[in-house]
Structure 1
Amino acid sequence: MSRLSTSHLSLAYGSRSIVEELNLHVPDGLITALVGANGSGKSTILKSMARILTPSNGGVYLDGKLIHRQPTKEVAKNLAILPQNPTSPEGLTVRELVSFGRYPHQKGFGILSSEDNRMIDWALQATGMTTFTNRPVDHLSGGQRQRAWIAMALAQGTEVLLLDEPTTFLDMAHQMEVMILLEKLNKDQKRTIIMVVHDLNHAARYAQHLVALKDGTVMYEGRPEDVMTPQMLRDVFNIDADVIPDPRTGAPMCLPYGLADEPADQEEGAEQAEYEDSRVQAMA
């Protein structure tokens, strides 16, 4: 049984239903990527898993117990979330930010214990942020800032990490920096990571489990090589695309060419037919 799962989960914003009767089991020790078009319910599901959003029906289960009935601090000791585009107070240093991750473990007046400081040091080292310890968070580059927030999540000491679009608004180099860090955390420490990802090629390369959503429903689920297919891309994203193996990693790679519901270009079709006729005549 997976540590984190949903059973008949239904979610709504007011009277607008987003997710209905979702049954999902997150594989332990793997990186799971939630993919889908805008409005498919990815971030809504992640918020519910983090107990930020209350279900209208069904529930989210952590270690076999309804997460919304568990004490907040107990949940925070087992599960950490990095929301989309987090912000920190101006002037807050990296170490101060990371220390917030120890809140679920603190007692009394919130004084950091030796164990708290050990975990903070470890999180800074694991994310390559030790040299930025005393630097204000708002003075960091985009990739460094995201690594600082991931360090805060790691300092919580949880086995499960939830990340909502961790590479949004980052340039290509900083996106790679964050994804490589998550891959390392998963491989070296067996962290269970669930992330919402827009870049399909990042999802297929760095995740071992893909969940493709449409209108709050799981359309496809499984290994990237099984899920990332032209048919899935047509059904879920309405795009016409080829899928080829990445020349270096072998992971499936999406090459989009157009919208699936666009009519074929007549001129292009005529040229193709003329080309095929010429081939036949040449072979005759």
Structure 2
Amino acid sequence: MSRLNTNRLALAYGSRRIVEELNLSVPDGKITALVGSNGSGKSTILKAMARILSPLSGGVYLDGKEIHRQPTKEVAKQLAILPQNPTSPEGLTVQELVSFGRYPHQKGFGSLKAEDHRMVEWALEATGMYGFADRPVDQLSGGQRQRAWIAMALAQGTEVLLLDEPTTFLDMAHQIEVMMLLEKLNRDQRRTIIMVVHDLNHAARYAQHLVALKKGTVLYEGDPTEVMTPEMLRVVFGIDADVIPDPRTGTPMCLPYGLAADASTTESGNLPAGQENAERAPEPAYAAG
């Protein structure tokens, strides 16, 4: 079953098309990881799913309704987006940041109601950030800061979370910290999570559904044990690699040992001049707007 899907979706930056005729269904109650080389369309697709980027044609559907035709606040009550490298005003506390997640539920500029405060406290507890509520966000470690932003997304009270490279620029310990939090949210609350991930082993270990993209097209899709193969790694990433079971989890683990002789890993040719890093550019977070 899928509440969120695309139908013949076409996306572009300027006059250059990035995605064509994309039909993608996100399984409910699972973690889905979008993987692919730089410029393959991962973040572009995520932005369309979050209403940040409007389609050229086709559409993104949530519960059968085209989200780009629905009011922003109505969509934001159903799905939350955490963009890559979000930034907050200097001095903003964790509790203030998390409170922003209640914006879709406010009327005008009304103050927070009892239910809003309850959701903020719950989000802080769920992410292990309650003890940091009064700490300025800019004084947190990388992992703590990312958990604070995830808490803001949780405070929206949505069943669907979209995250664009949630572990970028984090050290190894903080990467695992964030991935284990997402795993817990999915396991305990059945949150549907869609995330763009660069680390293939993280994707295979923490996601139950893997989507491998190249040039805006889904080439492989399914359970990580079926998708993470030497063939996929050669075709999608242009690398030769062994795939072995993780000794602890049994999930597939990628061990690259060289570049594939017949594959190119450079995908930036899909993007117009000046847009080679468009998918990686940081942007402020907001609620599915």
TM norm structure 2: 0.90
Aligned residue for 2:35?
35
Aligned residue for 1:122?
122
Distance in 1 (alpha carbons) for counterparts of 2:217 and 2:106: 39
- How far 1:2 sits from its partner (Å)? 1.0
Distance in 2 (alpha carbons) for counterparts of 1:65 and 1:174: 37
Aligned residue for 2:155?
155
- How far 1:235 sits from its partner (Å)? 0.5
In the alignment, is residue 57 of structure 1 matched against residue 57 of structure 2?
A: yes
Higher helix share: 1
- Please list the CA deviations of residues 224-258 of structure 1 after superposition, one character each: whole Å capped at 9, or x if unmatched: 00000000000000000000000000000000001
Distance in 2 (alpha carbons) for counterparts of 1:73 and 1:106: 9
Q: How does 1:188-267 map to 2 (within 5 A)?
A: 188-261=188-261
Aligned residue for 2:279?
none
Q: How does 1:180-195 map to 2 (within 5 A)?
A: 180-195=180-195
Q: How does 1:62-81 map to 2 (within 5 A)?
A: 62-81=62-81
Distance in 2 (alpha carbons) for counterparts of 1:108 and 1:72: 14
- How far 1:107 sits from its partner (Å)? 1.6
Distance in 1 (alpha carbons) for counterparts of 2:249 and 2:158: 30
Aligned residue for 1:98?
98
Aligned residue for 2:135?
135
CA contact (8 A) 1:94 1:136 kept: yes
Q: Greater RCO between the two (CA within 8 Å, min separation 6)?
A: 2
Aligned residue for 1:278?
none
- How far 1:81 sits from its partner (Å)? 0.2
Q: Which amino acid aligns with 1:96?
A: E
CA RMSD of aligned residues (A): 1.0
Q: How many residues align?
A: 263
- Please list the CA deviations of residues 167-187 of structure 1 after superposition, one character each: whole Å capped at 9, or x if unmatched: 000000000000000000000
Counterpart secondary structure, 2:110: coil
- Please list the CA deviations of residues 5-55 of structure 1 after superposition, one character each: whole Å capped at 9, or x if unmatched: 000000001111100000000000000000000000000000000000000
Distance in 2 (alpha carbons) for counterparts of 1:185 and 1:203: 16
Distance in 1 (alpha carbons) for counterparts of 2:262 and 2:76: 47
Distance in 1 (alpha carbons) for counterparts of 2:174 and 2:13: 33
Aligned residue for 2:270?
none
TM norm structure 1: 0.92
Q: Which amino acid aligns with 2:210?
A: L
Q: Which amino acid aligns with 2:222?
A: G
Runs of 4+ in 1 over 2 A off after TM superposition: none
Distance in 1 (alpha carbons) for counterparts of 2:110 and 2:48: 28
Distance in 1 (alpha carbons) for counterparts of 2:229 and 2:165: 22
Distance in 1 (alpha carbons) for counterparts of 2:133 and 2:180: 21
CA contact (8 A) 1:225 1:251 kept: yes
Q: Gaps (5+ residues) in structure 1?
A: 264-284
- How far 1:262 sits from its partner (Å)? 7.2
Distance in 2 (alpha carbons) for counterparts of 1:226 and 1:118: 42
Identity %: 84
Q: Gaps (5+ residues) in structure 2?
A: 264-289
Aligned residue for 1:47?
47
Distance in 2 (alpha carbons) for counterparts of 1:172 and 1:246: 17
Counterpart secondary structure, 2:53: coil
Distance in 2 (alpha carbons) for counterparts of 1:236 and 1:125: 39
Distance in 2 (alpha carbons) for counterparts of 1:260 and 1:37: 14
Q: Which amino acid aligns with 2:260?
A: A
- How far 1:108 sits from its partner (Å)? 3.9
Q: Which amino acid aligns with 1:73?
A: K
- How far 1:110 sits from its partner (Å)? 2.4
In the alignment, is residue 110 of structure 1 matched against residue 126 of structure 2?
A: no
Distance in 2 (alpha carbons) for counterparts of 1:26 and 1:262: 32
Distance in 1 (alpha carbons) for counterparts of 2:225 and 2:17: 31
Distance in 2 (alpha carbons) for counterparts of 1:209 and 1:41: 17
Q: Which amino acid aligns with 1:242?
A: D
Distance in 2 (alpha carbons) for counterparts of 1:225 and 1:141: 34
Distance in 1 (alpha carbons) for counterparts of 2:107 and 2:262: 60
